[in-house]
Amino acid sequence: MSGSRCARLGGPLVRQLLDSVDSVLFDCDGVIWRGDQAIPGAARVISLLKQRGKKVFFVTNNSTKTRKMYADKLSSLGFDAAEDEVFGTAFCCAAYLRSECGLRGKVYLVGSDAMRQELEAVGIQAVGVGPDPVSGKQLDWASVPLDPEVQAVVVGFDEHFSYMKLNRAMQYLTQKDCLFVGTNRDTRLPLEGGKAVPGTGCLLQAVETAAQRQAQTVGKPSRFMFECVARRFDLRPERCLMVGDRLDTDILLGSACGLKTLLTLTGVSTAAEAAAHRDSGDNERRAMVPDYYVESIADLLPALQGEDDPSL
């Protein structure tokens, strides 16, 4: 690949890039791990960045874990990570509802128990977690009991997603004052071995279609995801690097927020896709073009270990 953007990162360019930033934001799935397997060399990269005084954050659209659960997973895979460095959509969704919406009532949650925990941690009660089997007939479904204290419908990843949950969410959303928030629009979750399963975006689109309403999403590429980190740690966008494997979430977030961007090819998007966006002439597609790309974040190791420059 060639051109002023989407350059392959290596040699002196690595040191130049790292010297230009104070903070590095990493996506997780497809970047530092795949499923339950760490990307080789990723833990060492994180450790060396911190040794060099860089702030490191983990920014994920996965809503199935609390911050603590993510910190525990990071630790189990050998990463040096603290709970307050983790920003998942379960946590950020709760922050959005409390700080941006001023929500004080309940939410109907199509999502995980981890989301329920993060919501309750900021004083928001969630109803709807767990299975909701179909019973009765269609007229009964249209008149399902609704909690009058519910002020928002929140959609994240839900392994118990069902017709009745879809119906109940739709019934709440017929109330025009009911807020509608989704964690993210990722339609596929990549797994090790090249496999994948449907993502939250599939569930969110189903609810949007039924309700005939558009949700506000808080996960990448929403600017709120970066703001959630930046406000807590006083980050300067121009001194931040976003590292991700998806052009339409990670790289687009970085572009929207004025961050430097690095695509790693260990996950979803490819170098060919990035090149096609760059050469398309379409401004919306060009917003998904990274500044640099690497095969793996392990490609940063030589510069971090000083192997390409004895003075480091």
Q: What's the pTM value of the predicted model, to 2 decimals?
A: 0.92
> Into how many domains does the chain fold?
2
Please check the confidence at residue 309 and state whether its pLDDT lies above 60.
Answer: no
Query: Was 245 annotated as part of a binding site?
Result: yes
**Catalytic machinery residues:** 27, 29
Nearest to 165 by CA among 229, 112, 233: 112
| Secondary structure, 3-state, 183-230 | CCCCCEEECHHHCEEECHHHHHHHHHHHHCCCCEECCCCCHHHHHHHH
Residues 104, 80 contacting (CB under 8 angstroms)? no
Task: Looking at the structure, tell me whether residues 123 and 207 fall in a common domain.
Answer: yes
Is 86 part of a structural domain of the chain? no
Residues 50, 74 contacting (CB under 8 angstroms)? no
Domain end point (choices 189, 217, 245): 217
Q: Which residue, chain included where needed, has tokens 């994948």?
A: 196
Task: Looking at the structure, tell me whether residues 42 and 117 fall in a common domain.
Answer: no
Is 278 part of a structural domain of the chain? yes
| pLDDT of res. 119 | 98
Task: Looking at the structure, tell me whether residues 188 and 124 fall in a common domain.
Answer: yes
Residue range 240-296, pLDDT digits in tens: 999 999 999 999 999 999 999 999 999 889 999 999 999 998 999 999 999 999 999
The number of angstroms, rounded, from the C-alpha of 277 to the middle of its chain's C-alpha atoms is: 21
Judged by phi (left if over 0) then psi (alpha if -120 to 50, else beta), residue 157 lies in beta
CB atoms inside a 10 Å sphere around CB 216 = 13
Residue range 66-108, pLDDT digits in tens: 999 999 999 999 999 999 999 999 999 999 999 999 998 999 9
Task: Looking at the structure, tell me whether residues 114 and 177 fall in a common domain.
Answer: yes
Task: Looking at the structure, tell me whether residues 141 and 208 fall in a common domain.
Answer: yes
Portion of the chain with pLDDT greater than 70, in percent:
97
Domain end point (choices 217, 243, 261): 217
Query: Was 65 annotated as part of a binding site?
Result: no
| pLDDT of res. 170 | 98
Query: Was 29 annotated as part of a binding site?
Result: yes
Between strands 196-198 and 188-190, the pairing is antiparallel
Task: Looking at the structure, tell me whether residues 230 and 199 fall in a common domain.
Answer: no
Task: Looking at the structure, tell me whether residues 171 and 245 fall in a common domain.
Answer: no
Is 27 part of a structural domain of the chain? yes
Please check the confidence at residue 2 and state whether its pLDDT lies above 60.
Answer: no
Task: Looking at the structure, tell me whether residues 156 and 226 fall in a common domain.
Answer: no
Q: What is the CATH number of the domain that holds 272?
A: 3.40.50.1000
| pLDDT of res. 308 | 54
Is 122 part of a structural domain of the chain? yes
Judged by phi (left if over 0) then psi (alpha if -120 to 50, else beta), residue 89 lies in alpha
Side chain identity at residue 259, one-letter code: L
CA 311, CA 241: separation in Å to the nearest integer?
A: 23
Domain end point (choices 217, 235, 253): 217
Please check the confidence at residue 227 and state whether its pLDDT lies above 50.
Answer: yes
Is 89 part of a structural domain of the chain? no
Please check the confidence at residue 165 and state whether its pLDDT lies above 70.
Answer: yes
Task: Looking at the structure, tell me whether residues 242 and 210 fall in a common domain.
Answer: no
CA 145, CA 161: separation in Å to the nearest integer?
A: 18
Please check the confidence at residue 311 and state whether its pLDDT lies above 50.
Answer: no
Is 74 part of a structural domain of the chain? no
Is 293 part of a structural domain of the chain? yes
Please check the confidence at residue 125 and state whether its pLDDT lies above 90.
Answer: yes
Task: Looking at the structure, tell me whether residues 106 and 210 fall in a common domain.
Answer: yes
Task: Looking at the structure, tell me whether residues 45 and 131 fall in a common domain.
Answer: no
Nearest to 244 by CA among 280, 198, 291, 203: 291
Domain that holds residue 21: 7-61+221-305
CA 161, CA 62: separation in Å to the nearest integer?
A: 16
| 3: its two tokens | 């051109």
Is 212 part of a structural domain of the chain? yes
Task: Looking at the structure, tell me whether residues 130 and 34 fall in a common domain.
Answer: no
Phi, psi of 87 (to 5 degrees): -130, 95
Find the range with the poorest average confidence among 23-37, 43-57, 236-250.
23-37
- What is the spatial order of strands in the sheet that 126-127 belongs to? 126-127, 106-110, 150-155, 179-182, 216-217
